[in-house]
Chains A and B, each alone.
Chain A
Amino acid sequence: MRGSAIHFEDDRITYSSKRTNVSISRSNFTDSRVVGSAAGRGGHCFRTGSCFNNNMPGGPIYGGLVYLNIQISDLVTVDLVENVFGSNDVKESRGGDVFSVAIDQDTRSASGGSAGGGMYGGLIWIDLDRPGTSLGNFRFESNFFMDNNVTSMDGENGGEAISNITNGSLGGEAIGGMGGRGGEISGGVVRIEMESGTSNITVSSQSGRKFRFQSGNGGIGGSGSGVFGVGGKGGNSGNIEGGALFNSGSTSTHR
């Protein structure tokens, strides 16, 4: 999902001296509910040998409300000024279920759980990946944020592994699947990426109240049972970077 309210993508052919101006001001973004649906379950696996991951992670969300992608202009100006973001609830999607049981005497493992989708810019995503000599200006001023929730989903539990060989000296290990990683949050409200060129970023006079940002829980590792059963590793929880407002990843701003 990329920008449920506004989606702007600069997809023109490369041309010298291009300019792009984007301005979003004095707008109300309120009472939206943006929810990704869970990924589908992978195929049923119940067999001798390993079950591999055939379940997909949840779909990520890039900018729950607004998505701007401007990558080839030489001069870019983006203004987000005096907007109101109120009572929005953005949740990314779960990964697909696992249904796998691996059975064997050799070292075999069940499928790992799928990961949560990940949230990149809970409300706003801005990607300005421009040529090396370009100039980018991003102004983010006087916006008001109230009662916004941004939630990433849990990773799924890993599958179960069973070794049914009774003679342990011949058997291998049956390894439960690893739990899926919880969905991460990178920029709870805004995530900005600027890969090259000269950039000026101004973030000023924002007012934010009553926000909540929560990353996903990791899935539980699958159990291993029978001869040399080995429990699966639990899944890592989701990372939070730039929890509430601003994550300027990969910026190359020159003074």
Chain B
Amino acid sequence: MISITNNEFEDGYVVGGDAGDGGSSSGDKHDGEGGHGAQADAVGGLFEVQLREISTRVEFDGNIVSNLRVFGRSGGDGGDGVQSDGQKAGASGHGSSIFGCVAYFRNNIEDGVSDNSLSMSNNILRNNWVISGHGGNGGDMHSEFGLSEIRDAYPGDGGMAGIIKGGLISAWFTGTHGNFASSNNTLRDNVIRTGKPGNGGSCIGKACDRSVDAFSGNFLIRGGLISVRELEFNRNFFV
């Protein structure tokens, strides 16, 4: 039995770190590949419960969370590259993803019969901002060194803005039996927004006639406020 009840949190910041940029490559006459920008990792919840075994009941009742600011951060920019025999400038990293910023529940049950339940009632979640990270920009490809044969140039792709799965509450069930019940909750004046996807890189220089356009990034939201995910069967969800 895990009980999280009657807690009150306000005026808090939870901020993920920025991912590093990829390194650039350079050279006098030859090819070089830009390093890939890294991915800004996920930013988790105010409350997080992870379970690994059977038959657990979790109660999340009567909590008040207000004026919480949860900001995912940017994926790294891709490094610049140098033209190029199929070489590519660095792709950029994705922004921070966000899973259940107020509460994140997950059981990691792989074998055997399990019976887990999560109930949440009488909670007030008000004026919270949840913004996932920006995607990084793709690296540029420089191709002005006068190679004897002009080849394709590949600027780096833009990174995806951070995924949001359950901006405020995220529950993820695996195993066999599961129950999720939500009642009498107040979710008001909350802002759930993804970051800005990254821009694709450019080809710069004389040999860009055969440049292959880079993709820009995109984004994904699954359940702006609440997300419930189950991987097997025998679930009952009452929201």
Are A217's CB and B25's CB within 8 A?
Answer: no
Return the chain A residue nearest B76 by Cβ: A234
Count A-B contacts at CB 8 Å.
Answer: 290
Given A240-B42, A241-B48 in contact, is the A223-B25 Cβ separation under 8 Å? yes
A213-B15, A221-B35, A238-B41 as given contacts; A232 in contact with B7, CB under 8 Å: no
User: Does A21 make an interface contact (CB < 8 A)?
Assistant: no
List the 3 closest pairs (A to B, CB-CB), nearest first. A231-B35, A234-B20, A231-B23
Give bound CA distance, A179 to B93, whole Å.
13
Nearest CB of B to A203, in Å: 5
A134 CB to nearest chain B CB (Å)? 14
Docked-complex contact A231 and B90, CB < 8 angstroms: yes
Contacts A/B (CB < 8 Å), 14 sampled = A184-B41, A221-B20, A224-B24, A225-B27, A236-B19, A237-B20, A237-B41, A243-B44, A243-B46, A243-B48, A247-B44, A251-B52, A252-B51, A252-B52
Judged by DSSP, the binding face of A is loop
Interface with B: A58-66, A75-83, A154-162, which one?
Answer: A154-162
Known contacts A207-B8, A231-B90, A254-B56; A236/B40 CB under 8 A:
yes
Residues of A contacting B51 with CB < 8 Å? 248, 251-253
How far apart are A131's CB and chain B's nearest CB, in angstroms? 14
Q: Tell me the chain B residues, 7-56 only, with Cβ under 8 Å from chain A.
A: 7-56
Most central of B26, B31, B35, B53 by chain A CB within 10 Å: B35
* A173 nearest CB across to chain B (Å): 8
Q: Which single member of B36, B47, B115 contacts A245 (CB below 8 Å)?
A: B47
CA distance A233 to B35 in the complex (A): 5
In the complex, are the beta carbons of B32 and A217 less than 8 A apart? no
CA distance A211 to B13 in the complex (A): 6
Q: Chain B residues near A233 (CB, 8 Å)?
A: 20, 22-23, 35-38
In the complex, A188 has a CB within 8 A of chain B: yes
Question: Which residue on chain A has the smallest CB distance to residue B40?
Answer: A237
Q: Are A237 and B35 closer than 8 Å at their CB atoms?
A: no
Given A214-B15, A241-B48, A242-B45, are A155 and B25 neighbors across the interface (CB < 8 Å)?
A: no
Set of chain A residues within 8 Å of B46, measured between Cβ atoms:
242-246
Bound: A250/B108 CA distance, A: 9
